[in-house]
Amino acid sequence: MSVSRKRAWANVEQLMQRPRRQIRVVLRRGKRGVTLLHDGKTLTRCYATKTGQACAKLVAEALGVQMPPVGAEVEATIPNGVLFRVVSLSGLDLRVPGTELIAERLLEEAAFQRERAAAVSADS
């Protein structure tokens, strides 16, 4: 049984209560869409609609990974800020004019935060 976005949001809120530099997530692609998981709990999902598939590509880009083929998954380690942007990207309605500017900004911020977290980890 799948978890709704509303129930998944509770998992995101709980995870983000304590800021972390590294959160291990899994991006899983199935026939019904793409799901982002942490410790087996759903954080967000992109359904297998045209808009959902476009959002899933943005999510993968924000995570800094390639979109896995159907039936596969890919792991990523990200900071809190990237998680926030990934969840935001997954919920965008890309049919609304101007949304692509928001998506572009969220992707830029996610890339910056991933690079910054990698630099801090390398210094440690």
Instruction: Look at residue 8 in the predicted model and tell me its pLDDT.
Output: 80
Which has the closest alpha carbon to 47: 61, 26, 29?
Answer: 29
Instruction: Look at residue 120 in the predicted model and tell me its pLDDT.
Output: 75
List per-residue pLDDT tens for the chain, 124 residues long. 466 667 788 888 888 888 778 899 999 999 999 999 999 999 999 999 999 999 999 999 999 999 999 999 999 999 999 999 999 999 999 999 999 999 999 999 999 999 888 777 666 6
Helix 80-90 and helix 99-123, axial crossing angle in degrees, nearest 10: 160
- Specify the DSSP class assigned to residue 95: T
> CA 35, CA 45: separation in Å to the nearest integer?
4
Using the structure block, give the residue that is written with the tokens 């990523």.
Answer: 76
Across the beta sheet with 23-30, what order do the strands follow? Answer: 41-47, 33-38, 23-30, 73-78
Instruction: Look at residue 1 in the predicted model and tell me its pLDDT.
Output: 43
Please work out, in degrees rounded to the nearest 5, the angle formed at the alpha carbon of residue 55 by the alpha carbons of 74 and 105.
100
> CA 95, CA 44: separation in Å to the nearest integer?
19
pTM of the model: 0.90
Amino acid at 11: N
